[in-house]
A and B are shown apart, each in its own frame.
Chain A
Amino acid sequence: MNDISVILSSAIRLTAPLAFAGAGEYVAERGGSLIISIEGMMLSGAFFGILGSSVFGNPVLGLMCGVLGGLAVAMLHANLSYRLDANTFVVGLTLNILALGMTSFLLETIDMTPHRAGQVTVPLLHDIPIIGEPLFVNRWTIYLLLLAVPLSWLVVQRTRWGLELRACGEDPQAADVTGIDVNKRRREGVYWLGLMAGLGGACLSVAQVGLFNQNMTAGRGFIVNAAVIFGGWRLAGVIAGCFLFGFADALRLALPAVGYTIQPQLLIVAPYVAALLALCFFAKRNRRPEALARPFVRGIT
């Protein structure tokens, strides 16, 4: 039984960075932006998180630096795509390379002494069998999810900004006629993603690992893309998707240690296949924003 607890703990740790970024990408995609530079944003967030914690000697300030690091990449992406109309995939691929190159380069040229975010144990609750440890003994950053995820949902579903954002994701032409600045809303959606992905990356480095490794996000940003698809563009689904990916990863790490032999590749690949199957067979449920990844050009209907 203890094994389950350990695996769950690890799954939740692995899910957290994905979930932050997932909440962000959910917002961006509802506005019609398919952003593949999450990887770059998370990596940048992870690096600047550690750099900040090292410079200021404080994990909280480090986290904030990480958020800004993610935002910087997002601002580049948003302005190149939604001001200069550069192709979003070109920009995304390029920014991923840039973020990887930049962080790898700086890592080798800057000496850092990171400060790690502390562990918290929620009294009483952590004694609950099986789920107690995984849910209530964690680095404190993870509990920011309780703020970030509901906030992302509220912003999209319950605010005027979110309504306008959704309008831009569904029918930018009509939104434009109604007097909404489509490209501005979309930029703002991507900024939100930048904040969240930066936070996710910083959470990974500052809290969970405690230092920065070269290419430490290792494809997590793309997993977030997959999770949003898996979740059918609904936030609950997206977070579930993130957990599924995190859980599969945890199993891959843990099972050999516990003595089970299972194809690790099969485990890793399962969530991707699940996402593909979901696309195939729940097309009606998984309604993607109508104008997803379609640039908005004014005056063309």
Chain B
Amino acid sequence: MEEPAGSETLLAKVAGTTTRTSRRNRLLANIALYVVAMALALAVSSVLIVAATEAAPFDVFHAMYEGSLSRPSAIGLTLDRAMPILIVAVGGIIATRAAMFNIGLEGQLMVGGLVGAVVALKLGLPAGAALPLTLVASAVGGALWAGIASLLRFWRGVDVVISTLLLNFVAIEVLSFALNKSWLLQETSSNTQKLPQSDRLEPAYQITRIGEQPGFSVSTGIFLAVILAGVVMFALARTRWGFRLKMLGMNPNAARAAGVSMAAVGGGALVMSGAFAGLAGGVVFAGTAFRIQPGYSANIGNDGLLCALIARRNVAATLPVAFFFGAMRAGGGFLAATGVPRYLVDVVQPLLVLAALLPPAVLFLWDRRQALRLARSEADSHDEPALIGAAA
């Protein structure tokens, strides 16, 4: 189920022929479409607020802004929330570039954090060495989990979408299993009724934070996330590996014919995306949650996947999208003060995501109408009429 390269190639053809003025018009149309779509999403949310609660929509949105962006401390919280989403998304882009549809990032994140927690809590490592090892172990855990899907794909031809989807549920149960076994991760409290959760990570083992609480305070993990994004951006654009990945994603047949190994490069991309998701799990554990509980992954993996998909093939685009997702998560906590159930965030956020989908979709349809004209003229004359320059 690789992502089809066809539509993109046709669009590339259109892009190659558009003039500068039409490009400017497109930009303006794009901006206008975004404004309209966002306004629409907020309007729908407002109607919901007015219809179902006493609150005024403005107060509600203001509270979300308060919680996420208004003060340094809020921004710190937003960054904390965005950090793991960004890491997952960067990995997700590696996989989508190679046309490997890894929708099991959530499960890979869960398993990654789990493995990291075992290393951090059970091995009795010295504080200095523990954190890097925890993070590495998390990445390895996520990579191995994605590796199962990779193995199934290249050994038995099992579709990646399907296997990663199924492995998510296996991961939930693996997590539940580990949290219910005292020899694994279950807490070591003296209570007779032990909860299915891990011990809390000692402060010395946690990811360092900078800044103090009522002011700006953020986990240093965010720097890791941004650096990783930068490295991956460069690697995709400028290295031999990135070139091969792109080839594989756009035309697997041509890539294979050119000597690119599907299993090594494609499977490798899948495993690598798992490693990023796993690392994100470790960062959640050692950076913000400090404890593994059932559901500690809190849909971060899926948000990261969504972020990667919205950013398409573009790593740079994951930064604002992840920040937005982080802001929505941070802002949700402040809703309670307005008397509106915090679930409203889970309405506003998807509505905004859907709104963000509309402009590209509309432009896509617009482009496609042009592309279709080309395609038909081409299908007619088997030797495509030259769009630029003369025919051979």
Residues of A within 8 A of B (CB): 34, 36, 80, 84-87, 89-91, 93-95, 97-98, 100-102, 104-106, 108-110, 219, 222-223, 225-226, 229, 263-266, 268-269, 272-273, 275-276, 279-281, 283, 288, 292-295, 297-301
Contact = CB atoms under 8 A, between A and B. Distances in A.
B337 interface: no
Contact of A89 (B101, B180, B299): B101
A281 B350 CA distance: 38
B161 interface: yes
A50 to B, nearest CB: 16
A36 B180 CA distance: 30
A104 B309 contact: no
A222 B168 contact: yes
Contacts of B163: 276, 279
18 contacts: A84-B365, A85-B364, A86-B357, A87-B309, A89-B309, A91-B354, A93-B305, A105-B346, A109-B52, A226-B165, A265-B180, A268-B173, A279-B156, A279-B162, A292-B1, A297-B4, A297-B6, A299-B10
Contacts of A219: 169, 172
B79 to A, nearest CB: 22
B101 to A, nearest CB: 7
Given A93-B302, A106-B52, A229 B350 contact: no
A276 to B, nearest CB: 6
Contacts of A87: 309
Nearest to B373: A299
A300 B375 contact: yes
A226 B167 CA distance: 10
A276 B152 CA distance: 9
Contact of A97 (B172, B350, B362): B350
A42 B99 CA distance: 30
Contacts of A86: 357, 361
A273 B170 contact: yes
Nearest to A270: B173
B169 A300 contact: no
Determine chain B's interface SS by DSSP, over half rule: helix
B326 to A, nearest CB: 15
8 smallest CB-CB distances across A and B, nearest first, come from A101-B346, A84-B361, A299-B375, A98-B350, A104-B343, A109-B52, A300-B6, A265-B173
Contacts of A279: 152, 156, 158-159, 162-163
Nearest to B11: A297
Contact of B52 (A89, A100, A110): A110
B386 interface: no
B3 to A, nearest CB: 8
A90 B310 contact: yes
B371 interface: yes
Given A89-B103, A272-B170, A300-B10, A98 B306 contact: no
Nearest to B309: A90
A293 B174 contact: no
Nearest to A230: B166
Contacts of B346: 97-98, 100-102, 104-105
A43 B83 CA distance: 30
A41 to B, nearest CB: 14
Given A86-B361, A223-B169, 12 more contacts: A84-B361, A85-B364, A90-B353, A98-B346, A105-B344, A272-B170, A276-B158, A279-B163, A281-B156, A288-B159, A295-B4, A295-B7
Given A265-B173, A297-B7, A280 B158 contact: yes
